[in-house]
Each structure stands twice: as structure tokens, then as C-alpha cells.
Amino acid sequence: MVHIYFDAATNQEVGENGLGVWVKTTDGTVSTYIAKRVGLTSVQAELAALAFALEQAHELTGESTFMFYSDAETVVRALEQRFLKDQSMRRLFIKALTLYDELPNKFIKWIPRAENRAHEVAKRALMTG
């Protein structure tokens, strides 16, 4: 099973977002991925981090079971219920939902922020130029 943690960090003052993904593959290999976005709200950034994590999952060949972890309860609940009330995020949500559905065996779990291994990765993404 592949374990994938994802998170977003937002600097509201300058409108920048850092996306972080922490991946541990079945063979124990750990990798981190970062990306930067601009102009997203905190919830939009968390949803973008989910999409980014799903993109990384799709790049893993030979893996068939994925466990995603997030401290963003709104995003986890939206994916589980396949519904997001905020229509301003519809396009991004549909992208994430489609990527999620394309994976063979997948699960998502809410975790406390202190347990999110991608938290520091997302902060690092925010600090990169």
C-alpha cells in the first residue's frame, strides 16, 4: 500500500500557496513533492494539494492500493460524500474526483495536523521562490 499525505500552506498577505505531498511507496521509498500556487483561499489550496497528490499517485507504476491522509476535514468529507457545496471550487473538485476515481483501490482519511507528514513539506513549498 502507498501512503500519501498532502497539505497546503497559505500566506494570506501575499496571496501565495504552497502545496506539499509526502509519499511512502510499498517498498518503503519516501519522496516529497512541492508546488506553488497563487491566489487560492485556504480551502481551495487544500483541494489543489489533493489534486497534486493524486497526480503524483498516477505516476507510480506497479502500485494498486493508495491511502491518502489530510488534515483538511472539508476536503476529506467532500471527497467521501462526492459533493462540495462551494461552486467556486467545482472545476478543481471535479478534477480531483476524476483523478481519485481513476485509481484502482483508494482510501482517504482525516488526521490531526500534528500527524500530517506533508505539513512541513507544504510550508517549505511556500518558502521557495
Confidence of residue 128 (pLDDT cuts 50, 70, 90): confident
Domain boundaries, the chain: 2-127
Mean pLDDT of 18-22: 98
Measure Cα distances from 120 to 6, 10, 29, 94 in Å: 10, 12, 18, 27
In this structure, what are the phi and psi dihedrals at residue 58, rounded to the nearest 5 degrees?
-65, -20
Cα distance between residue 91 and residue 84, in whole Å: 11
Residue 87 corresponds to which cell in the numbers above? 461552486
Confidence of residue 122 (pLDDT cuts 50, 70, 90): very high
State the fold for domain 2-127.
Answer: Nucleotidyltransferase; domain 5 (3.30.420)
pLDDT of residue 56: 98
Q: Residues 82-110: pLDDT tens digits?
A: 999 988 899 999 999 999 999 999 999 99
Sheet with strand 16-24: strands edge to edge: 30-38, 16-24, 2-11, 65-70, 105-110
pLDDT of residue 104: 95
Q: Residues 21-48: pLDDT tens digits?
A: 999 999 999 999 999 999 999 999 999 9
pLDDT score of 129 more than 80: no
Q: Residues 64-86: pLDDT tens digits?
A: 999 999 999 999 999 999 999 98
DSSP 74-104: HHHHHHHHT--S-GGGHHHHHHHHHHHHHSS
Q: Which of 58, 35, 51, 33 is nearest to 91 (CA)?
A: 51
